[in-house]
Structure 1
Amino acid sequence: MSRGTVLITGITGFIATHTALAFLDAGYTVRGTARTAAKADDWISKFPAHKALFQYAVVADMAVPGAFDDAVKGCDFVAHLASPAHWNQNDNETDLLIPAINGTRNLLTATKNEPRIKRVVFTSSLAAIIEPTLEAGKTVVETEWNPVTYNEAKSATNPSVVYRASKALAERTFWDYITAEKSAWAGTAICPCGTFAPPLQPLASLSALNVSTAFLWDMANGTYKAGVPTVGSPVYVDARDVALAHVRAVERDAAQGQRYLLIGGTYIPDQFIDVIHRHFPELRDNLPPVDLSRVGQSSFKYDSTKATRELGIAYTALETMVVDSISSILALRAQIM
């Protein structure tokens, strides 16, 4: 018997796929939103064992008013993961800011159509907490906010600044709605950092990998043989931990009204490369030399223990995360080629 129906927005995405599977494994019925019925059918075709507890709703454009009005009907919980996640926008507003903010507002407004909804989990980001181009030296915790305004993001020329602002402004929309509308449901925000894990979502080619997974794969495939670019925020978390945090957020009373930072640890790219070198000898010719002398010297300070205390998240080790991810990508490459 199902433990309730949870709406997963943007189910075909990287973290959303892991989150949907975590809910399905926990015994929930999952209704996923996708841009087309074909995309939803393609998604569940990868996970036939879960077909009995899977539903879908087509949301072609989440920025359109009323986009989620039908999708929420019959749902007990919502996990809002749909949001633009790229740094290659042509227009800051239309490509990132408006879809992130209006998509969130449209979903929250739609919850008025379904009084059964008890919890809404908003997938935010470390990007909503910090703005590295403006701040440095702080210990990062859940109470911090990226200070970039809409107008600043609208005119920004650095695409990463615009992306980070879109996450912060969308999350502010979430909390402002709860306060202004006195929502009947309780809200929780999950704020993961750079997220890695096996890519389980439908992919036509490796060029369609999400940003963080593509960065990891580029370390393994020779793209960075001459050297890995500097990492802006040198922290990681496993998407499977992020997914579990969503499940726990709807199950635990302590999560009501809370914001959780999810960081598994700091890293330097050399650590990823070292793991690849030791576990995947067939890839060694692609790898740059490594220098592990700087491991543990990161100036990035954070406290992500709240998710451990209140949600029971035991963060996956870096080595496990990298091995599982590269193994999955290699299997996917063999399947696609």
Structure 2
Amino acid sequence: MSKGVVLITGITGYVATHTALAFFEAGYTVKGTVRSAEKADFWISAFPQHKDAFQYAIVEDMTLPGAYDEAIKGVDIVAHIASPTHWNPKDNEKDILLPAINGTKNILSATKLEPRIKRVVFTSSFAAVSDARKEVSPDKVFTPADFNDITYEEGKTATEHRWTYQASKALAEKTFWNFIKEEKPSWAGSVVAPIGTYGPPLQPVKSLKDINMSCQFFLGLANGTFKNGVPAIGFPFFVDVRDVALAHLRAVELDVAKGQRYLLVGGPYKPEQIVDVVVRNFPFLKEKLPEVDITKVDLESTPFKIDTSKTTGELGITFTPFEKMIVDTMNRLLFLAKQFGAIP
């Protein structure tokens, strides 16, 4: 017997796919929003063992008023994950800010139509916590109380697209908290805020170019893109996508999570460490990777610190180790490369 119906927005995405699988495996019926029936059929075809516990609702444009009004029917739990994550918008406002903010407004408004809903978890990001425009001390400790203060207008006019992304995440999350404060819904809300998310991509794709952005980084390692130098990174911290999925599940199952915000950070890393792990575990890729002497890399310093004690203590998350995350990700990508005839 199902534990209930959970609506997962943007189910075909990277994080959403893992989250759906976590709910399936915990005994829930999963209802995913998709842009077409064809996308729903393609997605569930990768997980035939869960077909009997799968439903879908078509939401072609989440920014339109009433976008989720039909999808919300018969739902007990909501995991709002859908949000733009690309870094090359043609229009900051139309491509990033409005989808993130209005999509959030629409899913929250729709909850008024379904009295069955007990819990809602909102997927934010560490991008909503920090402000990449500002330098901070290495002694700075970010906690769940921190927010960046990038305004809508600053996000709209930013020439650095990561600032627009950061604005979209913070403003969308603030929309979530403001709705709870002002509307006082019958359901309890929680927020999970992951940092740079890696791990094996399980969402079905039709080609390697369709794989999500964070995993493209690993493909670049495998195909020689970074042969001439270790790639630059943004925030030098990671979290495994499987831990993010589990956090969504725990956030709606545990009473302690009601009204709480959780930072999801597995730990710090240096890009040279990724190369080192790949070379040691996949020696046949060595010729395609830059040379790295890990003994000469400062592995101790970080640009700031992040307190995840609330996440580990209240949600009971034990973060996946860095090396396991890298190995599992690369194994999955090599499998997909072989499947698509692009063996490194």
Name the TM tier (shorter chain): over 0.9
What SS does structure 1 have at the residue aligned with 2:300? coil
Other-structure match for 1:333 = 337
**Aligned mate of 2:212, from 210, 214, 220:** 210
- Distance across 2 between alignment mates of 1:193 and 1:95: 21
- Distance across 1 between alignment mates of 2:106 and 2:80: 11
Other-structure match for 2:232 = 230
Q: Does 1:41 align with 2:45?
A: no
Other-structure match for 2:286 = 284
- Distance across 1 between alignment mates of 2:338 and 2:58: 31
* Paired letter, 1:178: I
- Distance across 1 between alignment mates of 2:48 and 2:340: 19
Q: Deviations over 1:94-132 (max 9, x none)?
A: 000000000000000000110000000000000000012
Q: Deviations over 1:245-299 (max 9, x none)?
A: 0000111000000000000000001111111101112211111011322112223
Of all paired residues, the percent bearing the same amino acid is 58
Other-structure match for 1:188 = 190
1:1-337 aligned within 5 A: 1-137=1-137, 138-292=140-294, 293-337=297-341
* Paired letter, 2:195: C
* Paired letter, 1:161: W
Q: Deviations over 1:230-254 (max 9, x none)?
A: 2221000000000000000111000
What SS does structure 2 have at the residue aligned with 1:115? coil
TM-score by length of 2: 0.96
Q: Which consecutive unaligned segments of at least 5 residues does structure 1 have?
A: none
- Distance across 1 between alignment mates of 2:277 and 2:221: 11
* Paired letter, 1:141: T
Deviation at 1:306, TM superposition (A): 0.9
What SS does structure 1 have at the residue aligned with 2:30? strand
- Distance across 1 between alignment mates of 2:238 and 2:27: 28
- Distance across 2 between alignment mates of 1:228 and 1:8: 36
What SS does structure 2 have at the residue aligned with 1:316? coil
- Distance across 1 between alignment mates of 2:224 and 2:15: 26
* Paired letter, 1:114: E
Maintained 8 Å contact 2:221/2:289: yes
* Paired letter, 2:120: V
Maintained 8 Å contact 2:124/2:192: yes
Deviation at 1:135, TM superposition (A): 4.0
Q: Deviations over 1:162-189 (max 9, x none)?
A: 1111111110110011111111110000
Deviation at 1:17, TM superposition (A): 0.3
* Paired letter, 2:34: A
- Equivalenced residues, count: 337
- Distance across 1 between alignment mates of 2:77 and 2:145: 25
* Paired letter, 1:318: F
What SS does structure 2 have at the residue aligned with 1:110? helix
Deviation at 1:300, TM superposition (A): 2.5
Choose 38-47 or 289-298, whichever is displaced more: 289-298
Maintained 8 Å contact 2:32/2:57: yes
What SS does structure 2 have at the residue aligned with 1:294? coil
Q: Which consecutive unaligned segments of at least 5 residues does structure 2 have?
A: none
- Distance across 2 between alignment mates of 1:303 and 1:262: 10
Deviation at 1:191, TM superposition (A): 0.2
Maintained 8 Å contact 1:84/1:99: yes
- Distance across 2 between alignment mates of 1:135 and 1:285: 37
Deviation at 1:229, TM superposition (A): 3.1
Choose 8-17 or 287-296, whichever is displaced more: 287-296
Q: Deviations over 1:201-238 (max 9, x none)?
A: 12121112212111122123211111123222100000
What SS does structure 2 have at the residue aligned with 1:172? helix
- Distance across 2 between alignment mates of 1:294 and 1:120: 41
* Paired letter, 2:111: T
- Distance across 2 between alignment mates of 1:132 and 1:159: 11
* Paired letter, 1:183: P
* Paired letter, 1:163: Y
- Distance across 1 between alignment mates of 2:315 and 2:3: 19
Maintained 8 Å contact 1:132/1:232: no
